[in-house]
């Protein structure tokens, strides 16, 4: 069963949102009511605001065996129209006071009342649980079909890595339309019989108050940890509260080494990182009892096979850069209505992630960037943008950094750095020489652009396609 606690509710709180608390018994009754309201439906859109209503809708739909299409409330008109047309949901669920945009307002919106009777039978493990739309870079977003099998097996593998139990309360403020916040951050605790504590929006003081209370684990993205590190450095009481956590987990993008070091110094905590994708859920994770090594995402989780390959699909050896390919029970079923894209994403049984990495001798992976945007071929060398970004962040004047490439008649591609720094800006040659000293001369930026801030999406990832030469 995907959520065993619905059949045998423990006597504890399942969900906390600001001043609202929902017990497991209340969650089970809500799931029965939602299941009845969704009877006969194949897919349901969920207006995924950071509220308890979203969680109740998702849990009820999963109990009913209806595939959930989480919708980002900030999605633009054109993208929303594509998602609705592509996924063809039968119904929509949203908080009672929400006015939905026209693309969703035309769908039936069933009222959900008190629930009675038994839960429906558990659906087959290969049935889709979610259709989650990935960000489109060259076209409209693709709907990723995630089966119940992938979610159950992967959450169990991650729980083993992080020693995650029913006694844990996970606090976070992540969006609820994405794998990180919804599947890992909500279904993860609920599958264990633990508690989800969602803050609504990120705030260091609220994180500290939660960890000073019942919360034991925090999930966040690098932007959140960057702010938390600065606030802990300024507030010893907050640092002490964060230091009480059993585990701090960062994901969705690489956490800079400077923030690792700052949090370790002020709180005594060593943040663990993990690596996953919408299509694969979590592939790698640093174990709670393992070496919490900054700059790595750990070894593969149980049941997941990971390999690094070159351009021809041949596995690379040693510490060479290669593309990550994955196989295991964590994989998605395919892209909705896109058999061409599904076929292109696989090499036999291996899913081609498009992410580039190196492997340490003990199996820990170091992500160096995306194949399309972060693998730079300059002067005959293959260079990962991520390692240059980490080197730049070690410069005392650099606050944020992103690295891209642009054509060069001599080198093929030259390395371009986009940085946010303290003022006054250090000379560009200082940054280039800093990188050359830490890494190698051929990895130094040839061009440096100074920005007030890097463009980022809602999960804190830098959107490199928005970086254009002034």
In which residue are the tokens 């892209």 written?
Answer: 335
Q: What are the structure tokens assigned to 174, written together?
A: 């992540």
pLDDT at 77: 85
Strand order in the sheet with 195-198: 20-23, 13-17, 195-198, 169-172, 217-220, 247-250, 272-277, 281-285
List the beta strands (DSSP E) in 134-177. 143-147, 169-172
Q: Which residues of the chain have pLDDT under 50?
A: 137-138
Please state whether beta strands 247-250 and 217-220 pair in parallel, antiparallel, or not at all (unpaired).
parallel
What 3-state DSSP class applies to 300? strand
pLDDT at 202: 94
Q: What are the structure tokens assigned to 354, written together?
A: 């498009």
Residues 376-402: tens digit of each pLDDT: 878 767 687 887 888 899 899 999 999
Please give the helix or strand (H or E) that residue 21 lies within, else none. Answer: strand 20-23
Q: Which pTM does this prediction carry?
A: 0.84
Residue-by-residue DSSP string for 397-442: TEEEEEEEEEEETTTEEEEEEEEEE-SSPPPHHHHHHHHHHHS-GG
In which residue are the tokens 């995630």 written?
Answer: 146
pLDDT at 136: 53
Q: Please, is 456 exposed, middle or buried when counting C-beta atoms within 10 Å of its C-beta (0-12, 13-18, 19+)?
A: middle
Domains of the chain, each with CATH number or no CATH: 4-185 (3.40.50.12780), 379-466 (3.30.300.30)
Q: Please, is 52 exposed, middle or buried when counting C-beta atoms within 10 Å of its C-beta (0-12, 13-18, 19+)?
A: buried
What 3-state DSSP class applies to 32? helix
Q: Is 58 left (phi over 0), alpha (psi -120 to 50) or beta?
A: alpha
pLDDT at 137: 46
Alpha carbon distance 337, 349 (integer Å)? 20
Do 263 and 211 touch, CB atoms closer than 8 A? no
pLDDT at 139: 61
CA dihedral sign, ordered 74, 79, 81, 87: negative
Q: What are the structure tokens assigned to 148, written together?
A: 């119940």
Torsion of CA 393, 398, 403, 405, to 10 degrees: -130
């Amino acid at each position: 069963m995907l959520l065993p606690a619905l059949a045998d509710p423990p006597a504890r709180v399942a969900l906390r949102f600001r001043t609202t608390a929902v017990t497991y018994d209340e969650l089970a009754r809500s799931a029965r009511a939602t299941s009845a309201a969704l009877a006969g439906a194949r897919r349901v859109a969920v207006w995924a605001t950071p509220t308890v209503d979203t969680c109740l809708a998702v849990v009820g739909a999963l109990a009913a065996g209806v595939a959930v299409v989480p919708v980002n409330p900030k999605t633009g008109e054109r993208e929303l129209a594509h998602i609705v047309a592509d996924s063809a949901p039968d119904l929509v669920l949203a908080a009672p006071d929400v006015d939905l945009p026209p693309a969703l307002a035309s769908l039936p919106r069933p009222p959900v009342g008190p629930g009675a009777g038994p839960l429906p039978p558990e659906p087959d493990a290969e049935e889709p649980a979610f259709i989650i739309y990935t960000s489109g870079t060259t076209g409209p977003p693709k709907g990723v079909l995630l089966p119940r099998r992938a979610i159950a097996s992967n959450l169990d593998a991650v729980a083993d890595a992080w020693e995650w139990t029913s006694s844990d309360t996970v606090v976070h403020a992540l969006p609820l339309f994405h794998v990180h916040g919804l599947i890992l951050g909500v279904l993860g605790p609920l599958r264990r019989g633990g508690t989800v504590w969602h803050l609504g929006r990120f705030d260091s003081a609220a994180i500290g108050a939660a960890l000073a209370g019942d919360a034991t684990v925090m999930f966040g993205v690098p932007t959140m940890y960057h702010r938390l590190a600065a606030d802990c450095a300024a507030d010893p009481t907050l640092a002490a509260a964060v230091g009480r956590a059993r585990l701090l987990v960062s994901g969705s993008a690489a956490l800079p080494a400077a923030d690792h070091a700052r949090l370790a110094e002020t709180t005594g905590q060593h943040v663990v990182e993990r690596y996953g994708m919408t299509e694969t859920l979590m592939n790698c994770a640093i174990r709670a009892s393992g070496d919490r090594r900054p700059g790595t995402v750990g070894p593969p989780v149980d049941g997941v096979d990971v390999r690094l390959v070159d351009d021809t699909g041949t596995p690379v050896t040693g510490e060479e850069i290669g593309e990550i390919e994955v196989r295991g029970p964590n994989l998605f079923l395919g892209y909705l209505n896109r058999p061409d894209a599904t076929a292109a994403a696989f090499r036999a049984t291996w899913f081609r992630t498009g992410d580039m990495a190196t492997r340490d001798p003990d199996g820990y992976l170091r992500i160096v960037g995306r194949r399309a945007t972060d693998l730079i071929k300059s002067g005959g060398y293959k260079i990962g943008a991520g390692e240059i970004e980490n080197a730049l962040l070690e410069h005392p004047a650099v606050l944020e950094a992103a690295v891209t490439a642009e054509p060069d008649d001599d080198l093929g591609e030259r390395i371009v750095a986009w940085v946010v720094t303290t003022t006054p800006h250090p000379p560009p040659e200082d940054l280039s020489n800093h990188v050359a000293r830490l890494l190698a001369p051929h990895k130094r930026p040839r061009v440096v652009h100074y920005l007030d801030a890097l463009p980022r999406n809602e999960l804190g990832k830098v959107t490199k396609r928005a970086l254009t030469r002034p």
